[in-house]
Structure 1
Amino acid sequence: MDGQRAGQAELGRILIYGLGRSGRGVARFLAAEGLQADWVDARPGPEDAALVADLGFGPGDLAGVYSTVVAAPGVPIDHPDLLALAARGAEIIGEVALAARLRPQLPMIGITGTAGKGSTTVLVAHLLRACGLAALEGGNIDPPLLDVVDRAEVAVVELSSFQLERVPGLRLPVAVITNLGIDHLDRHRTETAYHAAKLNITAGQSADDVLIVPAGLQVHTQAQLHAFSPDALTLADGRTLLPLTDLPEGVHPANAAAALLAAEAMLLHLGRPVDADVLAAALRSAQPVSGRFETVARIGNVRFIEDSIATRTLAVEAALLRAAPPIAWLVGGRDKGADLAPLRAAAQGRVVRIIAFGEDGEKMARELGLPFELVEGEGGDEVLLNAARAGLSALRELGQDTGGTVLLAPIGTSFDLFKDYKARGESFKQAAQVLAASAAQLAEARA
């Protein structure tokens, strides 16, 4: 409690810069602490405005002097307002640093990476709960971290590169880097800057802490390095916990391997027993996160897999390599400049046709250099229904019993046709289930 009070005193005059999901969490948390804050948001939504009014927080003064500015992840670190506030003495932090300062006694596991960080976060929390700990996930994944810190024995925190730009002083007893690729160059500008933000996850670690990384990744850290491989589910001493074939469908082996080492490290940090049988049973019962390489329908031997969140090269490549060939690959949305060279290689011999859709689908399909078909429609739902139907037709052209996968791993962002990747994924799921229901009715009529 003394550390908590000291953290409150150090905050001084507070400004919340940017509301939305993260900012609302910050506002609720500060109010519960009995702290006052001003706020700034260029376009506050009705929910944002209502919340800060109810809490008694007033509009901020960008020309004023603040001790602490808690900035939303979506606000660039070099935004002119933040630079001006920092020049007048403000420390710029985010919700994760705020949680660490005001709840210094709460053990946290931080998880970042270009792909797989959300699924790994959920899986670590699942493993720790199976071991009897009240572990809750939050951060970049719903809910905001500050909404769970007072209900958790352990917080498992998904950390984006945006969040990791503003975590001064953060020390994590256990941290995970799932992988390092290329993403968000529109924000970070260079691969080096993007990787530097990711590597902030270990900046505050010491020799008593643990950093978990993929085998072969070279990282400068003071922490103990534990490497994982997608080829085995092992504990830190090398003991194999269970065969990969025991993992449920949709749980990626690399994510499971990283999550297992993270759960083990936290149990040891807390002085808790590491029960291999409990951990093995928890892995067998794990469920994939909705919207991440999820089988949403089947028609005969054809699976429809929804991976709408796959807009990063690493994530799309992983989906292509995991999906059972032959693959009808749905590509589309708004091009974000992903590196397509690894995808061309992953698709060779596996993808029989690209189904292009949306604003830049045709452009990306042409760059991939594979046979493609362009589908259109009135609105996003009709476009994806037509795309799912075209994918099924492409596989059936190979033979009625060929099987295979209709895969939505779109590369492009969703904002051309949908409000977000979740809405796009739900649209594909509904389309696949409509086709499956029609196929079942047809089969019944023929029987």
Structure 2
Amino acid sequence: MGVTGGRKVLLYGLGRSGRGVARFLAREGRRAEWHDAKPTDEDEALMRELSFPRGDVSGVYETVVAAPGVPIDHPDLLALMARGAEVIGEVALAARSRPDLPLVGITGTAGKGGTTVLIGHLLRAAGLNAREGGNIDPPLLDVVDEAEVAVVELSSFQLERVPGLRLPVAVITNLGVDHLDRHRTVGAYHAAKLNITAGQEAGDVLVLPVGLDVPTRATVRTFTPERITLTDGREVLPMAELPEGIHPANAAAAVLAAEALLARLGCPVDVETLAQGLRTARPVSGRFETVARIGDVRFIEDSIATRTLAVEAALTRAPTPIAWLVGGRDKGADLAPLREAARGRVARVVAFGEDGEQLARALGLPFDHLPFTPGMDGDGVMREAVDLGFAALEGRGTVLLAPIGTSFDLFRDYKARGESFARAARALAARETTGEVRA
């Protein structure tokens, strides 16, 4: 069932995704009401511009389009469902509204953003007008009318509300542990992730890492981070030729997904075109990105690395010795694999933020600690952390921001935290170059 102008629709939760839904419905000439417990000035201004009135959460609606940040078991959503509402998200709305638009969906505990961008890049190299959206900027509904193919990063939050979604091509990069503060159990988290393939049928393709067993009706194609190949085993590009910052596993998965979608659309699959696409790929900003260098020390920003798999990958890839910036708000990540990954690679931990000290102590590594006070200046804390990290290295290695904790203790979001790290690193590099000493 779609969302049409004659049905009563409630947007529950605004923010980036909700604003995208609102703009889309307005373009379609559809009406909606809205509710947000803490709307921003930007949210309210857009609702006034679109003439969308505030809704009544105690009312009756046929469709509720809920923002990803709202838990599926939120009391308001449960009450709305009890009164007959169907709760969906932005992705389900897009799929229902544009049923002829091919969607490639990507999820996973780590690597989904980089793989999403890489698939889009490869499809454009092959001549398709592919646009990325979803959990990655921009919202999916902002691109559905411009795209020939939409490549959609899907979080577990989004995948809680995709009833009936069928993807011709889906990718699961990996399954680890994350978001237990939201899903409560690993089983519930994995179940949400596996909704990416729940609607797939024979003839659809599911791309998985070797060794991951997932129940599905789709055709399974597996990848390893050791080789980048097509389904028939032909090598697309040697790993040594990948650009800096492109993760081998992401590249291997992206090639198989691009191949599957091209074949589905009846487009040629040319090895050299895909190889050239990989050679010209660039890492996603804010995902294991070198933002500054001082001699043989590089500063790598991976602020989004709050999941065990993502942090472990960063520790494994970063040149040693590593000064590891750890902190933020603890979200319950499994630290045991990180203690092993850090062994012999991390020279010093710099702990910052609300739970930085307890994370550092649990890691069992030598650390410096910056005391936390609510409301303190995040940029100032980050400058001190970067300075301490650089001082802990002896002229070579990596100052790595792979923080484990969420950003909400000191920053608006992970992007703001990453931008703060980049500014601090570049400022330090400038001071070192000019010989300036900061007071």
| In structure 2, distance between residues paired with 1:234 and 1:302 | 34
1:326 aligns with 2:321: yes
- Structure 1 position 20, deviation (Å): 1.3
| In structure 2, distance between residues paired with 1:54 and 1:387 | 43
- Deviations, residues 161-213 of structure 1 (Å, cap 9, x unaligned): 01101100100000000111111111111100000000000000001100001
Per the alignment, residue 426 of structure 2 pairs with: 433
Of 403, 428, 432, which aligns to 1:410? 403
The answer to whether the 8 Å contact 2:3/2:93 transfers is: no
| In structure 1, distance between residues paired with 2:169 and 2:226 | 22
Q: Which amino acid aligns with 1:426?
A: E
Per the alignment, residue 242 of structure 1 pairs with: 237
- Structure 1 position 62, deviation (Å): 2.2
Of 353, 356, 369, which aligns to 1:358? 353
| In structure 2, distance between residues paired with 1:379 and 1:19 | 27
| In structure 1, distance between residues paired with 2:158 and 2:219 | 23
Per the alignment, residue 211 of structure 2 pairs with: 216
Of 389, 392, 409, which aligns to 1:391? 389
| In structure 1, distance between residues paired with 2:201 and 2:309 | 30
| In structure 1, distance between residues paired with 2:35 and 2:243 | 45
1:140 aligns with 2:135: yes
1:8/1:368 CA distance change after superposition, 3 Å: closer
- Structure 1 position 159, deviation (Å): 0.5
- Deviations, residues 294-344 of structure 1 (Å, cap 9, x unaligned): 011111111111111111111100000001111111111121121110000
- What's the TM-score once normalised by structure 1's chain length? 0.94
| In structure 2, distance between residues paired with 1:12 and 1:375 | 54
Q: What does residue range 270-419 of structure 1 map to in structure 2 within 5 Å?
A: 270-375=265-370, 379-396=377-394, 400=395, 403-419=396-412
- Structure 1 position 379, deviation (Å): 2.2
Of 145, 148, 164, which aligns to 1:150? 145
- Structure 1 position 40, deviation (Å): 1.4
Deviates more, 1:13-22 or 1:198-207: 13-22
The answer to whether the 8 Å contact 2:331/2:405 transfers is: yes
Q: Which amino acid aligns with 1:215?
A: V
- Deviations, residues 366-394 of structure 1 (Å, cap 9, x unaligned): 11111112235962222222222222221
SS in structure 2 at match of 1:7: coil
- Deviations, residues 384-437 of structure 1 (Å, cap 9, x unaligned): 2222222222111xxx4xx21111111111122211111111111111112212
SS in structure 2 at match of 1:234: coil
Deviates more, 1:332-341 or 1:141-150: 332-341
Structure 1 unaligned residues grouped into runs of 5+: 1-5
What count of residue pairs does the alignment treat as equivalent? Answer: 433
Per the alignment, residue 166 of structure 1 pairs with: 161
SS in structure 2 at match of 1:373: strand
Of 11, 16, 40, which aligns to 1:21? 16
| In structure 2, distance between residues paired with 1:315 and 1:172 | 25
Q: Which amino acid aligns with 2:198?
A: A
Per the alignment, residue 3 of structure 1 pairs with: none
Per the alignment, residue 83 of structure 1 pairs with: 78
- Structure 1 position 438, deviation (Å): 2.1
- Moved beyond 4 Å, runs of 4+: 8-11
The answer to whether the 8 Å contact 2:321/2:398 transfers is: yes
The answer to whether the 8 Å contact 1:332/1:412 transfers is: yes
The answer to whether the 8 Å contact 2:181/2:332 transfers is: no
Of 99, 104, 115, which aligns to 1:104? 99
- Structure 1 position 12, deviation (Å): 2.5
Q: What does residue range 41-60 of structure 1 map to in structure 2 within 5 Å?
A: 41-60=36-55
Percent of pairs with identical residues:
72
Q: Which amino acid aligns with 2:178?
A: D
Q: Which amino acid aligns with 1:181?
A: G
SS in structure 1 at match of 2:349: strand
| In structure 1, distance between residues paired with 2:362 and 2:56 | 48
Per the alignment, residue 180 of structure 2 pairs with: 185
| In structure 2, distance between residues paired with 1:199 and 1:60 | 33
- What's the TM-score once normalised by structure 2's chain length? 0.96
| In structure 1, distance between residues paired with 2:103 and 2:56 | 34
Q: Which amino acid aligns with 1:416?
A: D
| In structure 2, distance between residues paired with 1:317 and 1:333 | 17
- Structure 1 position 439, deviation (Å): 2.1
